[in-house]
Structure 1
Amino acid sequence: MKSLLKYTLAFFIMAATTMFTSCSSDDDTTTTTTDELSGITKFKEFSNDTHTIELYSKAGSLEQGFNEISIRIKDKSTGNYEKNAEVSWMPIMHMTMMNHSCPKSEVEKTTPNGTLYNGYIVFQMAQNTTEYWDLKVDYTIEGTAYTATSVIDVPASAKKKVSSFTGTDGVKYVVAYAEPTNPKVAVNDIALGVWKMQNMMDFPVVDGYKVKIDPRMPSMGNHSSPNNVDATQKTIGGLYEGKLSLTMTGYWKINLQLLNAAGDVLKGETITETVTESSLFVEIEF
Structure 2
Amino acid sequence: MKNLKYTFNILILSIFLGSCSSDDDEITAVETNPVEDLNLLYEIPAEGHTLQIYSEKEQLEVGYNEISILIKDLETSQYITNASPTWMPMMHMETMSHSAPHTLLNNSEENSVYKAYIVFQMPNNDLESWELKLDYNFKDQALEETIALDVVSPLNGLKKAQVFTGSDDIRYILAYVNPKNFQVAQNDFEMVLHKMENMMTFPVVEDYKITMDPRMPSMGNHSSPNNQDLTYNAATQKYEGVLSLTMTGYWKINLKLLNENDEVLKGEEVTENLLESSLYMELEF
CA displacement at 1:248 relative to structure 2: 0.7
1:140 positional shift = 2.7
2:38 to 25, 37, 40: 40
RMSD: 2.3
Distance 1:224 1:99 in 2: 41
Deviations 1:199-227 (A, max 9, x none): 00110001110011111111111111111
| 8 Å Cα contact 1:207/1:236 also seen in 2 | no
2:52 alignment counterpart: 54
1:118 to 109, 115, 131: 115
Aligned to 2:12: none
Counterpart in the other structure of 1:3: none
Distance in 1 (CA, whole Å) between partners of 2:201 and 2:94 is 20
> Could you give the per-residue CA deviations for residues 39-76 of structure 1, whole angstroms, max 9, x where no partner exists?
21211111333431111111232111001111101123
Identity of aligned residues (%): 47
Residue 184 of structure 1 corresponds to which residue in structure 2? 183
**CA distance in structure 1 between the partners assigned to 2:269 and 2:105 by the alignment:** 37
1:169 maps to what in 2?
168
The match for 2:67 among 63, 66, 69 is: 69
Asked if structure 2 preserves the Cα contact closer than 8 Å seen for 1:86 and 1:141, the reply is: no
Contact 1:255 1:278 in 2 (8 A): yes
Is the 8 Å Cα contact of residues 59 and 152 (structure 2) preserved in structure 1? Answer: no
What is the TM-score of this pair, normalised by structure 1? 0.86
Which residue number in structure 1 is paired with residue 6 of structure 2?
A: none
Q: Is the 8 A contact 2:195 2:203 kept in 1?
A: yes
CA contact (8 A) 2:230 2:242 kept: yes
- Range 236-245 or range 191-200, more displaced: 236-245
In 2, the alpha carbon distance for the partners of 1:81 and 1:179 equals 29
Question: Does 1:242 find its partner at 2:241?
Answer: yes
- Counterpart in the other structure of 1:148: 145
Matching residue's letter, 1:241: E
Relative to 1, partners in 2 of residues 1:110 and 1:40: Cα closer, same or farther, differing over 3 Å?
farther
Gaps of 5+ in 1: 1-13
Q: How does 1:1-286 map to 2 (within 5 A)?
A: 31-34=30-33, 36-111=34-109, 114-141=111-138, 143-157=140-154, 158-235=157-234, 238-286=237-285
Instruction: Give the TM-score normalised by structure 2.
Output: 0.87
- SS of alignment partner, residue 103 of structure 1: coil
Unaligned runs of 5+ in 2: 1-14
Equivalenced residue count is 265
Q: Is the 8 A contact 2:177 2:192 kept in 1?
A: yes
